[in-house]
Structure 1
């Protein structure tokens, strides 16, 4: 069996958010990630678990390159990433079709390739005529379906998913989970944030538990999730 190669390495990463009123120079600091180190390997499906405010979504933004750490290093070994999250906004005045093209280009993909996939994206997302209407007319579920359709059909090297499988109607949840299972079994690299330990165990081969800004446990998903669940009792 060929040894897996790291896709992204996180080394002693710290992230601090600052807020305050500039005129008073009063600031508040919040450090969700204090010292995080691990390797994400090619072909792994990694589930990230932890309490609310543990820094799970912050970690996804680091992996996607949206934010930079205050300390430490993030090494991406040449992989394109896509973050699928309800908190990552679209341009509300552009159509679903236009947003899909922009999302693909932000992944570093060729525009001609993106355009060739648009009808498949629309069919999967089940948006119909809404695909050519502004995003501001979309419901939350429609935005979710569009985002999932873009990420699945444009196939980034690493797919980062932030709780999006928990949103939407039951039928689309099953459809999304079936696609996720297919991606994982085909050897794609996936990182999934979820508050559902059952989902992590079902869809991921590895898990990362974040507690108090550090890695509490990293390894086999079943073992890590069981330790996490026991700690919450």
Structure 2
């Protein structure tokens, strides 16, 4: 086999490659009370911005079938990193290579119309994820059964609690095995019994060995329970990358 083919085969081992990624946001340097003030200052060129680097030259790779948790204090860039991987954000510098289809559970309600019923939203969100109407027709009962919301399917989603929205979102996104499952705090919403049910489905994916999982949770114990490896991002910097127990222990020790 040629060197080029060897390199291509090696690359295919990775579901995700994050290469020197930096994410820069421009923030207004002064506090404004409303949009009117914002646009007046913008028109008069009196509004100044300062750079905020949410991610700073981050690099790591995720092999196919790996289960990787992202840990770090609030505002450290974990969710931003997941959005870059999911394609929601384009990095300011560097690149992110993703091989396979993604089921992103990043922001509850994303892809939903809160004025529509849960039933209508299943078809809407399913279409955004690439499912056909026929596919949703065939799997509707399975989605509803998993979400355990049979009595609320014709209620507008605006009347749902955040936990109920999470149930619908998780059930739709995981109705088939994705190549890459991205879970950001979704399991922290709702009751403990549904959290356990979601964990069981994730464990099923993990045991299949075919699904790559990227996972963020406020619960370090949950990260240790689900993940094999952890990436610690702190204030935009990559602090540590390694076995989940070692990384989580180091993360805890910073507070001691």
Per the normalisation by structure 1, the TM-score is 0.91
Please, which moves more after superposition, 65-74 or 150-159?
150-159
Structure 2: how far apart are the matches of 1:114 and 1:37? 37
Contact map agreement 1:161 1:192 (CA 8 A) in 2: yes
Shift of 1:51: 0.6
1:66 is the counterpart of 2:88: yes
2:97 aligned residue (75, 80, 86): 75
Runs of 4+ in structure 1 off by over 4 angstroms are: none
Structure 1: how far apart are the matches of 2:132 and 2:60? 31
Contact map agreement 2:21 2:59 (CA 8 A) in 1: yes
Q: What residue is the counterpart of 2:226 in the other structure?
A: 203
Superposed counterparts of 1:1-40, under 5 Å: 5-20=13-28, 21=38, 22-23=42-43, 24-40=46-62
Give ranges in structure 2 of 5+ residues lacking alignment.
Answer: 1-9, 29-37
2:167 aligned residue (145, 149, 169): 145
Structure 1: how far apart are the matches of 2:94 and 2:187? 31
| Secondary structure at the counterpart of residue 69 of structure 2 | strand
1:91 is the counterpart of 2:93: no
Contact map agreement 2:16 2:61 (CA 8 A) in 1: yes
Q: What residue is the counterpart of 1:189 in the other structure?
A: 212
Calculate the aligned-residue CA RMSD, in Å. 1.8
C-alpha spacing 1:61/1:15, structure 2 compared with 1 (3 Å): same
Contact map agreement 1:117 1:154 (CA 8 A) in 2: no
Structure 1: how far apart are the matches of 2:195 and 2:24? 34
Write the deviation string for residues 23-82 of structure 1: whole angstroms up to 9, x where unpaired: 3232233211111111121101110000110011111111111111111011122x1112
Structure 2: how far apart are the matches of 1:100 and 1:154? 14
C-alpha spacing 1:156/1:103, structure 2 compared with 1 (3 Å): farther
Contact map agreement 2:108 2:165 (CA 8 A) in 1: no
Contact map agreement 1:86 1:144 (CA 8 A) in 2: no
Structure 2: how far apart are the matches of 1:102 and 1:116? 15
Contact map agreement 2:125 2:172 (CA 8 A) in 1: yes
Q: What residue is the counterpart of 1:162 in the other structure?
A: 184
Shift of 1:88: 4.7
Number of aligned residues: 230
Structure 2: how far apart are the matches of 1:100 and 1:185? 27
Contact map agreement 2:103 2:174 (CA 8 A) in 1: no
Superposed counterparts of 1:112-123, under 5 Å: 112-123=134-145
C-alpha spacing 1:143/1:204, structure 2 compared with 1 (3 Å): same
Structure 2: how far apart are the matches of 1:118 and 1:199? 30
Please, which moves more after superposition, 20-29 or 40-49?
20-29
Contact map agreement 2:118 2:154 (CA 8 A) in 1: yes
Contact map agreement 1:34 1:214 (CA 8 A) in 2: yes
